[in-house]
């Protein structure tokens, strides 16, 4: 095992898959000569050249469409958005073409490609640059949505996504790019659709993912442990397809569920998880399901208001106390 940053893990995944399969290419804004806006593609242009590491204009709809056409023609593009907020400019291409092409062509044209880049809030970027859009893309049939929370999963899931024959929405976080973690030497992948039990517990199940898991949920779990509360912590890793059996079986053991996410509350991923659990494990629940989300407002720019709007350790602890009928 060796320790790498999240950005290095993603870089290794793309580099290794380019060496493995000559059909793999990367395209996006500043991915080549500038080595990526967040240096995720550091060194790839020097190694693979301009035919496989391609700088694009600031025209997300255009280069997303080019990537879809390239995938239909037999290549395996990775399209990087500088931020998933900018993907909204290309939403028609992703939702109406990448997601639907296999079905609408009667199975004649698959779209094996990855759309990737950072999503969610960073620090003081304002409402239009801070959106957690995973529920929007998970809503679309034909798309898979992947959200790793650490370097190990980041590398393994990105390699699986590149090899997948479907269009993949791969959402990272710019606040996680410097996070360090252990990854094994040599080849490995993490399967899409398989969640991870980070910690086993007996009192309550918490489901959380990506940046919120690392920044808020894990510290909250540690605080709850000091209070004598045993938490089973689950990282689904893949939003769609989701490892629903893993979550339901955990709730059948703990009898309580708290879902923590960065997205908005209305029609969020947590709402879908709550439905799955009450539908399949209603009789096992000893308390109503609790959700911790971003507030239902455009994210403010001011630091104090931004913090107040997002999930926090205190909000998570309070939610766990509520399902345990404490306080």
The answer for residues whose C-beta is within 8 angstroms of residue 312's C-beta and 6 or more apart is: 216
Which H or E element spans position 161? helix 151-163
Q: What is the rounded distance in angstroms from the CA atom of residue 85 to the CA atom of residue 172? A: 12
Catalytic one among 8, 29, 60, 232?
60
- Distance CA(213)–CA(260), nearest Å, equals 8
**d(C-alpha 247, C-alpha 253), whole Å:** 10
Name the active-site residue from 16, 61, 129, 321. 129
SS3 260: strand
The span from the first CA to the last CA of the chain, in angstroms, equals 44
Active site residue 261: no
Angle, CA of 301, 310 and 208, to the nearest 5°:
145
Give the Cα separation of 245 and 242 in Å (integer).
9
User: What is the rounded distance in angstroms from the CA atom of residue 124 to the CA atom of residue 326?
Assistant: 34
Is 60 catalytic? The answer is yes
**Active site (catalytic) residues:** 60, 129
């Amino acid at each position: 095992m060796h320790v790498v940053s999240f950005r290095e893990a993603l870089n290794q995944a793309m580099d290794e898959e380019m060496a493995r399969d000559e059909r793999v290419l990367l395209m996006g804004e500043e991915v080549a000569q500038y080595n990526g806006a967040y240096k995720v593609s550091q060194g790839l242009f020097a190694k693979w050249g301009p035919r496989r590491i391609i700088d694009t204009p600031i025209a997300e709809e255009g280069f997303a469409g080019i990537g879809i056409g390239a995938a239909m023609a037999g290549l395996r593009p990775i399209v990087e958005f500088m931020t998933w907020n900018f993907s909204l400019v290309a939403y028609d291409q992703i939702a109406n073409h990448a997601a639907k092409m296999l079905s609408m062509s009667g199975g004649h044209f698959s779209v094996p490609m990855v759309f990737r880049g950072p999503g969610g809030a960073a620090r003081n970027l304002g409402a239009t640059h801070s959106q957690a859009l995973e529920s929007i893309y998970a809503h679309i049939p034909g798309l898979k949505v992947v959200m790793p929370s650490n370097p190990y999963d980041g590398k393994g899931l990105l390699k699986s996504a590149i090899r997948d024959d479907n269009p993949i929405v791969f959402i990272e976080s710019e606040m996680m790019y410097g996070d360090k973690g252990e990854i094994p030497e040599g080849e490995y992948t993490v399967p899409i659709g398989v969640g991870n039990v980070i910690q086993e517990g007996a009192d309550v199940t918490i489901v959380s993912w990506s940046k919120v898991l690392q920044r808020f949920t894990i510290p909250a779990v540690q605080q709850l442990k000091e209070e004598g509360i045993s938490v089973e912590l689950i990282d689904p890793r893949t939003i769609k397809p989701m490892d629903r059996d893993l979550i339901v079986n955990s709730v059948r053991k703990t009898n309580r569920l708290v879902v923590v996410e960065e997205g908005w509350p209305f029609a969020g991923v947590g709402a879908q998880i709550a439905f799955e659990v009450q539908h399949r494990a209603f009789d096992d629940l000893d308390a109503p399901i609790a959700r911790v989300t971003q507030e239902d407002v455009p994210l403010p720019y001011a630091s104090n208001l931004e913090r107040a709007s997002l999930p926090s350790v205190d909000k998570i602890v309070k939610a766990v106390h509520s399902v345990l009928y404490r306080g």
